[in-house]
């Protein structure tokens, strides 16, 4: 038997705002029959652009119903921009507490809210069903969903993923695949920390600095020099000047000195080409 807070029990037994708003401004669905819970959220704005009416229909357990009911109460009176700030943690905080295996109920609330706001802004339905490859067949969770929840909530174990979105909580066959996805996210984050992705402008500046500080002094020793002509993606175009112009080994200098220095300092993908 789950231990629910009085507030969860109250919102389950006396759910607020049940049903669907007529001619809604926003209409979003999260979850599915296959998942074992689903929530349709509809809302309508008043003249002040504030949410005047919000209603829910939920297929799910007591905490799914309570989370949905709580969400509608939290939405009423807010602008869409304010509503957009509501996270699943806010829903849990409103209810006091949810058992950790029930956290996914609040995540479903957040997802339905996203879907309803997307519908309000675009007039289109947000379709999550076909996004990615299904990893967890028990709950129909895809690799992209698992990756998203892992990244957003900084999850580090399959158990945490299960609590957040149910994936892996059924037969358990997909747990190794979920672990692989988690490891992928963690590795990608670690890689990002090592070499931050540069904007094109930052890249050009870094190339310029590297050439000035580490390349030109070497060439100048032999009365040579070069100028940075252009940067096109990872292609760096340089123009040899001075002694380098007539040097028979300038092509070796280009690869061994210029390209190597730039690859080490900027990116492994740099290719240097000389123009005349």
Partner 1 sequence: MNPTVYVDNNATTSVAPEVTEAILPYFTEHWGNPSSMHNFGGGVKRAIDAAREKVAALIGAEHPNEIIFTSCGSESDNMAIRGAVDAMGGHPHVITTRVEHAAVLGPCHYLEDKGFRLTTLEVDEKGGLDLDVIREKSMSGKKTVASIMWANNETGVIFPIPEIGAIVKEGGGIMHTDAVQIAGKLPINVKDTPIDSLSISGHKLHAPKGVGALYVRRGTKITPHIMGGHQERGRRAGTENVPYIVGLGKACELAVERMERDAEHERKLRDRLEAGILATCKGARINGDVGNRLPNTTNISFEYVEGEAILLMLDDVGICASTGSACASGSLEPSHVLRAMDVPRSCLHGSIRFSLGRYNTDEDVDYVLEKLPVIIKRLRELSPFAND
Give me the catalytic one of 35, 136, 165, 174. 35
In angstroms, what is the minimal distance from the CB of 3 to partner 1?
A: 12
Stretch that binds partner 1, among 53-61, 123-131, 176-184, 262-270 (CB under 8 A): 53-61
Strand pairing report for 235-242 and 271-275? parallel
Contacts of 72 (CB under 8 A, 6+ apart): 16, 17, 41, 54, 55, 56
Q: Give whichever of 24 and 224 is closer to partner 1, judged by the CB atom.
A: 24
Work out whether 134 is an interface residue with partner 1 (CB under 8 A): no
Any contact of residue 92 with partner 1 (CB under 8 A)? no
Rule CB under 8 A: say whether 271 interacts with partner 1. Answer: no
Distance of CA 207 to the CA centre of its chain: 30
Q: Which of 5, 10, 50, 59 binds partner 1 (CB under 8 A)?
A: 59
Give the nearer residue to partner 1 in terms of CB position, either 172 or 184.
172
CA 252 vs CA 92, 136, 247: distances in Å: 63, 53, 10
Cα–Cα dist 199/216, whole Å: 24
Is 105 catalytic? The answer is yes
57 binds partner 1 (CB under 8 A): yes
H-assigned helices in the chain: 6-13, 62-75, 80-84, 88-95, 103-122, 143-152, 158-165, 175-194, 200-210, 216-220, 250-253, 260-265
User: Minimum Å distance from CB 105 to partner 1?
Assistant: 9
When the beta carbons of 159 and 225 are compared against partner 1, the nearer one is 159
Q: Is 162 in the site for partner 1 (CB under 8 A)?
A: yes
Q: Is 138 in the site for partner 1 (CB under 8 A)?
A: yes
Cβ atoms of 113 and 176 closer than 8 Å: no
Cα 58 to Cα 89: distance, rounded to the nearest angstrom: 19
Binding mask 165-184 for partner 1 (x = CB under 8 A): -x--xxx-------------
Beta bridge partners of 230: 237
142 binds partner 1 (CB under 8 A): no
Label residue 247 exposed, middle or buried (CB < 10 Å: 0-12, 13-18, 19+): middle
Q: How far is the CB of 58 from partner 1 (least distance, A)?
A: 6
Burial 2-21 (b: 16+ CB within 10 A, else e): eebeeebebbbeebbbeeeb
**Count of residues in contact with partner 1, rule CB under 8 A:** 31
Instruction: Give, as ranges, the residues between 6 and 35 that touch partner 1 (CB under 8 A).
Output: 12-13, 15, 18, 29, 33-34
CA dihedral 87, 91, 96, 100 (to 10 degrees): -80
Q: Does 54 bind partner 1 (CB under 8 A)?
A: no
61, 105, 138, 244: which is the annotated catalytic residue?
105
Residue 45 CB, nearest approach to partner 1 (Å): 22
* Residues that bind partner 1 in the complex, under the rule CB under 8 A: 2, 12-13, 15, 18, 29, 33-34, 36-40, 57-65, 101-102, 138-139, 162, 166, 169-171
């Amino acid at each position: 038997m789950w231990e629910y807070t009085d507030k969860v029990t109250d919102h389950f037994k006396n759910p607020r705002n049940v049903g669907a708003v007529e001619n809604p401004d926003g209409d979003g669905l999260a979850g599915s029959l296959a998942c074992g819970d689903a929530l349709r959220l509809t809302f309508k704005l008043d003249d002040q652009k504030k949410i005047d009416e919000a209603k829910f229909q939920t297929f799910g357990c007591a905490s799914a119903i309570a989370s949905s009911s709580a969400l509608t109460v939290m939405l009423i009176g807010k602008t869409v921009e304010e509503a957009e700030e509501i996270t699943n943690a806010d829903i849990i905080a409103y209810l006091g507490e949810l058992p950790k295996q029930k956290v996914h109920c609040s995540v479903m609330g957040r997802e339905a809210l996203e879907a309803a706001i997307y519908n309000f802004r675009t007039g289109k339905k947000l379709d999550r069903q076909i996004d990615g490859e299904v990893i967890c067949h028990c709950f129909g969770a895809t690799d992209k969903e698992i990756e998203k929840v892992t990244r957003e909530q900084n999850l580090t174990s399959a158990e945490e993923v299960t609590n957040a979105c149910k994936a892996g909580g059924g037969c358990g066959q997909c747990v190794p695949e979920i672990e692989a996805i988690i490891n992928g996210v963690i590795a990608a984050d670690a890689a990002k920390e090592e070499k931050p992705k540069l904007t094109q402008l930052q890249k050009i500046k870094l190339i310029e600095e590297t050439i000035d500080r580490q390349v030109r002094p070497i060439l100048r020793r032999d009365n040579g020099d070069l100028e940075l002509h252009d940067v096109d993606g990872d292609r760096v175009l340089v123009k040899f000047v001075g002694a380098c112009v007539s040097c028979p080994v300038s092509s070796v200098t280009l690869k061994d000195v210029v390209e190597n220095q730039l690859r080490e300092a900027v990116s492994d993908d740099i290719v240097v080409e000389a123009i005349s």
